[in-house]
Amino acid sequence: MTLSSRTSPRPPRPTLDLVVVSSEWLSPYLVRVRLGGPGFALFGDRPETDKYVKLKFTTPPPESLPVTRTYTVRRVDAQSQTLDIDFVVHGSEGLAAPWAAVAEPGAVLSLLGPGGGYLPNPDADWYLFAGDLSAVPAIAAALETLPEDAVGVALIEVDAEDAVLDLAAPPGLEVRWIVDSTHDEETLADAVRAVSWRDGHVEVFAHGERESMKAVRRVFFDERGLERSHVSLSGYWARGRTEDRFQAEKREPIGQIIPAQ
């Protein structure tokens, strides 16, 4: 099965402390932090291309409360004993992104994980990836694992031209960037509708802003009639919500990307 079921109980995830090795701005909106150090020996890598970790932070005084933030692991390098996490940065908003924007070598970051849910099926006839900047690490990791003869398209919505990155992909898989600063929740769905649909089994990975993913869901299931087992679909964040509120709303109707049957 291509998409992990996640129905079995999860084993406890270890907490480990990693040290910042380096940081690199990939664009004005995306900074890559490389982590390593002795704590890497406790990191149990997983095969999934969307593997994620829970980063541990403390809110500013006077509350100073412990919180976690969820981020995709962009790359793991067992030889160098490091892992990369790409952070979307929009000014001083949030906890994790401002930390990443100024992170210097030697800084310590605690995390839990990893978890994961998606690994591309090399036997799919074609692939369709869709997401925004928050999904770029997972999409990029997936593209790098595809067979050389893979075909399909990756649709990535960003706010500005200078957010566009050069992603490695098989020659037959087009990476199409959609620049739209209006934050219209239908933008990505419209791009999916415009895709020239191929014959055969399509495998879909679509992750990003929650309301945008709801619009994309309607295209995949209501308009195209895809089987759920062929679609990995979820919201990574919700516009106007902190992650704490976003996570809490997953248990409410507003937070359901795929309604319960």
The answer to whether residues 242 and 249 touch, using CB atoms and an 8 Å cutoff, is no
Checking if the pLDDT of 34 tops 80, the result is yes
Task: Give the separation between CA 172 and CA 118, rounded to whole angstroms.
Answer: 21
Q: How confident is the model at residue 184, as a pLDDT?
A: 96
Q: Which CATH entry fits the domain spanning 126-255: 3.30.70.20, 1.10.260.40, 3.40.50.80, 3.30.450.20?
A: 3.40.50.80
- Predicted structure pTM score: 0.92
| Pairing status of strand 231-237 against strand 52-58 | unpaired
| Pairing status of strand 15-27 against strand 108-115 | antiparallel
Q: How confident is the model at residue 9, as a pLDDT?
A: 54
Q: Which CATH superfamily is domain 15-115 in?
A: Translation factors (2.40.30.10)
The four Cα atoms 24, 156, 174, 114 give a dihedral, to 10 degrees, of 60
The answer to whether residues 212 and 239 touch, using CB atoms and an 8 Å cutoff, is no
For 43-54, write each residue's pLDDT tens digit: 999 999 999 999
| DSSP one-letter code for 3 | B
The more confident residue out of 248 and 258 is 248
pLDDT (mean) for 66-78: 96
Q: How confident is the model at residue 91, as a pLDDT?
A: 83
Task: Give the separation between CA 66 and CA 152, rounded to whole angstroms.
Answer: 42
For 208-252, write each residue's pLDDT tens digit: 999 999 999 999 999 999 999 999 999 999 998 888 888 898 889
Q: Convert 115-182 into a string of H (helix), E (strand) and C (coil).
A: ECCECCCCCCCEEEEEEEHHHHHHHHHHHHHCCCCCEEEEEEEECCHHHCCCCCCCCEEEEEEEECCC
Q: How confident is the model at residue 10, as a pLDDT?
A: 57
Task: Give the separation between CA 107 and CA 18, rounded to whole angstroms.
Answer: 8
pLDDT bin (cut points 50, 70, 90) of residue 3 is: very low
Count the alpha carbons within 13 Å of 12 in the hemisphere toward its beta carbon. Answer: 3
Structural element, H or E, at residue 188: helix 187-193
pLDDT bin (cut points 50, 70, 90) of residue 31 is: very high
For 77-133, write each residue's pLDDT tens digit: 999 999 999 999 988 888 999 999 999 999 999 999 999 999 999 999 999 999 999
Q: How confident is the model at residue 8, as a pLDDT?
A: 52
Task: Give the separation between CA 26 and CA 28, rounded to whole angstroms.
Answer: 7
Task: Give the separation between CA 5 and CA 128, rounded to whole angstroms.
Answer: 20
Q: How confident is the model at residue 93, as a pLDDT?
A: 82
Omega of the bond leading into 62 within 30 degrees of 0 (cis):
yes
The answer to whether residues 52 and 114 touch, using CB atoms and an 8 Å cutoff, is yes
- Listing DSSP states for 16-55 in one string gives EEEEEEEEEEEETTEEEEEEESGGGGG----S-TT-EEEE
Per-domain boundaries in the chain: 15-115, 126-255
Q: How confident is the model at residue 11, as a pLDDT?
A: 59
For 140-196, write each residue's pLDDT tens digit: 999 999 999 999 999 999 999 999 999 999 999 999 999 999 999 999 999 999 999
pLDDT (mean) for 33-62: 96
Q: How confident is the model at residue 2, as a pLDDT?
A: 42
Residue identified by tokens 């919505």 is 157
Task: Give the separation between CA 174 and CA 191, rounded to whole angstroms.
Answer: 13
pLDDT bin (cut points 50, 70, 90) of residue 4 is: very low
Q: How confident is the model at residue 7, as a pLDDT?
A: 45
